Amino acid sequence: MTDLGGRSAERRRAPLSGRGEVSRARLLQAARQVFGRLGYLDTSIADITTAARVSQPGFYTYFESKDEIFRELARTVIGEMVDALSVDAPPPRADPTPRGRVRASIEQYVEVFRANARFAGLIEQVGTLSPDMYAEHLRLREMFTERASSAIARMQRDGVADRGLDAVMTAEVLGAMVYSTCYTWLTLGQAFDETRLVGELVEAWSRTLRLDGEAGARVG
């Protein structure tokens, strides 16, 4: 995209003032709301700047295109989901047992996904249209897998999880299961009983990792 006045690219590289930080944050907040309401394809830069009360030339001070601001929001949303599903750092006052930590993390993930269900659908949609967004999605999935596999490996070293499991592949499988389930439920609208569904997700994680004192008794 051509920079307005030939100076926007240079401005984007320059450190932001306090006022600039506020304007940029307003654009991000407005874009998140507008994308959620209109979808990616039907959202224009004018829609975003109107909602943010920022001029269109002002938009290009901070972002090169609609695609760029969407990618930044996608990184934020997926990062929130990755942080939520962290068995290593469950919410305060969670049951400290391995199964309790898994339950607390899954419950926290469900709440974060619920708040971002519409945007999660947009990320999937845009990933089929934009190679850059597709690559970003994969990179962030890899970030989740790395974090989850580290947690699983730590539980294996502590004798809590089955040491015969491949921590990386197990993290891929369990992470994909939780994401796909929440996407079907909260984004696509498939009706599930929340209590039963969360319970089954916890059970699937716990049985796969062989928690509850079964880590040393691998079957098959």
Give the CATH number for residue 49: 1.10.10.60
Boundaries of domain holding 205: 68-209
Q: Does the structure show a pLDDT above 50 at 48?
A: yes
Q: Kindly state whether residue 44 falls inside one of the protein's structural domains.
A: yes
Q: Does the structure show a pLDDT above 80 at 43?
A: yes
The total domain count for the chain is 2
Question: Are 42 and 74 in a shared domain?
Answer: no
- Cα–Cα distance for residue pair 202/175, rounded to 1 Å: 12
Q: For residues 142, 134, 184 and 150, what is the CA-based torsion angle, rounded to 10 degrees?
A: 0
- Which sign does the torsion angle of CA 13, 14, 15, 16 carry? negative
Q: Kindly state whether residue 216 falls inside one of the protein's structural domains.
A: no
Q: Kindly state whether residue 186 falls inside one of the protein's structural domains.
A: yes
Q: Kindly state whether residue 18 falls inside one of the protein's structural domains.
A: yes
Give the CB-side neighbour count of residue 209, counting CA atoms within 13 A.
33
Q: Does the structure show a pLDDT above 70 at 86?
A: no
Q: Does the structure show a pLDDT above 70 at 33?
A: yes
Average pLDDT, the chain: 85
Question: Are 42 and 124 in a shared domain?
Answer: no
Which of 22, 38, 64 is the C-terminal boundary of a domain? Answer: 64
Q: Kindly state whether residue 215 falls inside one of the protein's structural domains.
A: no
pLDDT of residue 87: 62
How many C-beta atoms lie closer than 10 Å to residue 110's C-beta? 21
Question: Are 99 and 201 in a shared domain?
Answer: yes
Question: Are 122 and 85 in a shared domain?
Answer: yes
> For the chain, what percent of residues have pLDDT higher than 90?
55
